[in-house]
A and B are shown apart, each in its own frame.
Chain A
Amino acid sequence: MNKKKRASYYIWKIIKYITCIFLAILTILPFWIMLVNATRSTYEIQQNSISLLPSKYFMNNLQILLGKSFNPLKGFINSMIISGGATACTVYFSSLTAYALVAYDWKLRQSFFTLILAVMMIPAQVTSIGFYQFMYRIGMTNSFLPLILPAIAAPITVFFMRQYLISTLSLDIVNSARIDGAGEFHIFNRIIIPIMKPAIATQAIFAFVASWNNLFLPLILLTDKDKYTMPIMVSLLRGDIYKTEFGSVYLGLSLTVLPLFVVYFLLSKYIIAGVALGGVKE
C-alpha cells in the first residue's frame, strides 16, 4: 500500500518536471532561433535554418537592417515616453479611484462601481473610429498625448485595485491617521499608496506591457515616421523591403526584444514576489 503510494508519487513528480521543462523549452526555442539567426547570413539560414551556435554575420546584417527604414533607437525612445506616461497615469489614478470606492461611503458609490464594470467591457478598438475622427479634428494625430492621457481611466485596473484594497485595507489605520490630523490626500499618498505597493507593482507591469505592445491605436494615430513606436517599427520588417534578408529580419526582431528581456529579467523577481505578496496577506 505504502509502496504503491510512493511509486505513484514519483511518477507524478516526473510528469510534473517533464511538463515544466517541455513548456520552458517551448518558450525559449523561438527566441533562441531568433537570436542565433540574427548573427547568420541569409545563405546560411537558407541552408539550415536551425543552428545552436551563432555565426559571424552580425555586423553585416546590422548594416543591411539600418540601411533601410528601420530605426530601433527612435522607436524605443518614443515607446518609452508613451508607456512610461501611460503606466504612471494608470496606477496612480486607478489607486485613487479604487480608494474612493472602498474607503468612502458616498451616495453614488455603488452606481459608479457598476459603471466601471460596464465600461470595463469597452475595448479601445471598438471605439477607435470615433476616437480617430475626434483626434483628427482637434489636430492631435501625431501627438503622444492621445496615447497617454486615456490611461487615467483604466477600469480593469480599478477593478483589480478595488479587490486588493477590500482584502487588505483596514479603515482603522485611516481613522487613526485622521485623528492625528492628516488630510485625506495626505493619507492617500502617504499611507494607502505604500499599502498598495504590491498591487501597484503588478498592475504597473501589466499596464506597461499593454501600452508598450499596443499596435492598433499608434498605427492609426501616428503617421509621421519620427513618431513611430516600437511595434510600428517592427511591422516594417514584414514589408517587402526585407523580404529576402532573413538575417536582418531576425536581427531587427532581436533588437526589439533585447531591451524587453533585460527589463523583464531584472523585474521578474519583483513581479512574482509582488503577485505572491498581494495574495498571502490576511
Chain B
Amino acid sequence: MRHKGVNYAKYGYIFCIPFILAFLFFSFYPIVYTTVIGFTDLKGMGRTDFTFLENPFQNFITILNNGSFRQSLKNTIIIWITNFIPQILLALLLTAWFTNNRHKIKGQGLFKVLFYMPNIITAATIAILFYSLFGYPKGPINDLFITMGIIDEPVYFLINKATARGVVSFIQFWMWYGHTMIILISGVLGINPEIFEASDIDGANNIQTFFYVTLPNLRTILLYTLITSLIGGLNMYDIPKLFLLGGPDNATLTTSVFIYNQAFSGSYMYNRAAAASMIMFVIIAILSGIIFFIMRDKDVVQLKKQKRKLKKELKNAENMVRRAVE
C-alpha cells in the first residue's frame, strides 16, 4: 500500500500552505505585535512608534488594578453564564423533541427556520432595536407588559444595573439558542441510526434513550458548542456596545468594549488595550484548555494508543520476517 512509487504526503503540506500563510500574516504576527505593544508606551491617535517601558509589566499592573477592567471582566462572565445555561438547556430540549421519530411535531421545519432567524440578523441592528423596544416611559415592552397586567406602571429597565444586564443576557440567549439547536440536531442525525434501533428494541423509553444514547454520542458536538460559545461570549462586543454603550454605571461594560474604549477613544492608549487583550487571551486559553481536557474522548485516546502499539508490533514482525528471509 505505502510503497507504490508515488509519494502523496507532500500534498498534505501543499494543501495547507494557504492556511498557514494567512494565519502567519493575519493572526500570528498581530498576536506577537499586540504582546509587544503591551510592554511599551504606545499611545496617542495615529502613532506607531514606541519605546519599551522601564518596568515592562507596568501596563499589565495598571490594567489589573483598574476598577473598570475588573468590573468588565465580572460583567462578561455573568452575562455569558446567564445566557449560556438556559440556551444549551433549551437547545437540548428542542433537539430531543425535534429528533424524536415516535412523536413528530408538525411544522418542525417552520419552527427551526424561525428559531434560527435572530442569529442571521446583524447584532448591531438587534442591539438598537431592543434599545428602542425598552424605551421609557413609552416603549413597546412597557406598553405590552402594562396591557398584559404584568406591571402597573412603566419600568425604566435600562437604568437598573441588574435588569440592564439581564436584557443583554436575554438578547444573547434569544439570538443563539436556535443556532445551538441546529448544530445539536445535526449532531443527533449524525449518530448511527442502528444505535437508536437497538435501544428501541431493548425497550428504552424516550428519556432513557436521550440520556444514555443521544447525549454521550453528542459529546464532540457539545464540546464544539461550548468552546465556540465561550470564546464568543468572552468577546461579546456589538450588543453591549450599541445597546447601552456599556452603561448604566458600567453594568454592561464587557471586556471587549473596555478594550475598544481604551484603544480607540479618549487618549488612544494602545498599550493598555494591548495588555488587557493579552490578559483576556490568557484567560480564554486556560478555560478552553480545561474544557478540552475534561471533555476529550477517552475512547479515541485509548484507541490511538492501541493502534500505535499494533503498528510497532507489526514493524517488529516485518523486520523479523525480513531477517529470517535474508
Tell whether B60 is near chain A: CB-to-CB under 8 Å. no
Structural contact, B105 and A20, CB atoms closer than 8 A: yes
Q: Which of A97, A159, A279 sits near B15, CB closer than 8 Å?
A: A97
Tell whether B199 is near chain A: CB-to-CB under 8 Å. no
Surface stretch bound by A, among B63-71, B80-88, B256-264, B313-321: B256-264
> Within 8 Å CB of B103, what residues of A?
9, 12-13, 16
Q: Which of B31, B122, B124 sits near A130, CB closer than 8 Å?
A: B31
When each residue 146-168 of chain A gets 1 if its CB lies under 8 Å from chain B and 0 otherwise, what string results? 10011111001011100100010
Structural contact, B18 and A279, CB atoms closer than 8 A: no
Structural contact, A209 and B120, CB atoms closer than 8 A: yes
> Within 8 Å CB of B37, what residues of A?
129-130, 133
CA distance A228 to B143 in the complex (A): 35
Structural contact, A188 and B241, CB atoms closer than 8 A: no
Structural contact, B138 and A212, CB atoms closer than 8 A: no
> Within 8 Å CB of B204, what residues of A?
none
- Nearest CB of chain B from residue A264's CB, rounded to whole Å: 5
- Nearest CB of chain B from residue A86's CB, rounded to whole Å: 11
Structural contact, A159 and B224, CB atoms closer than 8 A: yes
Q: Which of B15, B36, B188, B280 sits near A126, CB closer than 8 Å?
A: B280
Structural contact, B128 and A237, CB atoms closer than 8 A: yes
Structural contact, B140 and A50, CB atoms closer than 8 A: yes
Chain A residues 108 to 127 lying within 8 A of chain B, measured CB to CB, are 108-109, 112, 117, 119-127
> Within 8 Å CB of A31, what residues of B?
121
When each residue 232-263 of chain A gets 1 if its CB lies under 8 Å from chain B and 0 otherwise, what string results? 10110110000000100110010011001000
CA distance A46 to B136 in the complex (A): 10
Structural contact, B105 and A17, CB atoms closer than 8 A: yes
Tell whether B166 is near chain A: CB-to-CB under 8 Å. no
Query: Chain A, interface size: which category?
Result: 35 or more
Q: Which of A103, A123, A133, A235 sits near B242, CB closer than 8 Å?
A: A235
Q: Which of B12, B27, B112, B274 sits near A153, CB closer than 8 Å?
A: B27
Tell whether A184 is near chain B: CB-to-CB under 8 Å. yes
Say yes or no: A127-B277 contact (C-beta < 8 A), given A209-B120, A231-B122: yes
CA distance A127 to B174 in the complex (A): 28
- Nearest CB of chain A from residue B206's CB, rounded to whole Å: 9
- Nearest CB of chain A from residue B114's CB, rounded to whole Å: 5
- Nearest CB of chain A from residue B99's CB, rounded to whole Å: 10
Tell whether B33 is near chain A: CB-to-CB under 8 Å. yes
Tell whether A7 is near chain B: CB-to-CB under 8 Å. no
- Nearest CB of chain B from residue A59's CB, rounded to whole Å: 21
- Nearest CB of chain A from residue B231's CB, rounded to whole Å: 5
> Within 8 Å CB of A268, what residues of B?
113, 116
Structural contact, B237 and A125, CB atoms closer than 8 A: yes
Structural contact, B109 and A272, CB atoms closer than 8 A: yes
- Nearest CB of chain A from residue B2's CB, rounded to whole Å: 8
Structural contact, B120 and A126, CB atoms closer than 8 A: no
When each residue 7-24 of chain B gets 1 if its CB lies under 8 Å from chain A and 0 otherwise, what string results? 011111111101111110
When each residue 210-230 of chain B gets 1 if its CB lies under 8 Å from chain A and 0 otherwise, what string results? 000000000010001001100
> Within 8 Å CB of B278, what residues of A?
126
CA distance A222 to B160 in the complex (A): 34
> Within 8 Å CB of A9, what residues of B?
103
CA distance A264 to B29 in the complex (A): 36
Interface centre among B140, B144, B273 (most CB of A within 10 A): B140
Structural contact, B274 and A130, CB atoms closer than 8 A: yes
CA distance A33 to B187 in the complex (A): 35
Tell whether A24 is near chain B: CB-to-CB under 8 Å. yes
> Within 8 Å CB of A134, what residues of B?
29-30, 33
Say yes or no: A109-B116 contact (C-beta < 8 A), given A129-B270, A137-B48, A153-B26: no
What is the interface of chain B, defined by CB distance below 8 A to chain A? 6, 8-16, 18-23, 25-27, 29-37, 42, 46, 48, 94, 97, 103, 105, 107, 109-133, 135, 138-140, 142-144, 147, 174, 178, 182, 185-193, 220, 224, 227-228, 231-232, 234-235, 237-238, 241-242, 256, 259-260, 263-264, 270, 273-274, 277-278, 280-281, 284-285, 288, 292
> What are 17 A-B contacts defined by CB distance under 8 Å?
A13-B103, A24-B110, A27-B178, A34-B129, A45-B138, A49-B138, A49-B142, A97-B19, A129-B34, A131-B26, A150-B22, A152-B21, A235-B128, A238-B128, A279-B188, A279-B190, A280-B190
Q: A20-B107, A34-B132, A231-B123 are in contact. List 8 more A-B contacts (CB 8 A).
A: A24-B110, A100-B14, A101-B12, A104-B11, A125-B235, A178-B6, A219-B264, A279-B186
The 7 A-B pairs at the shortest CB distance, nearest first, are namely A279-B189, A130-B33, A130-B34, A104-B12, A106-B12, A100-B15, A152-B22
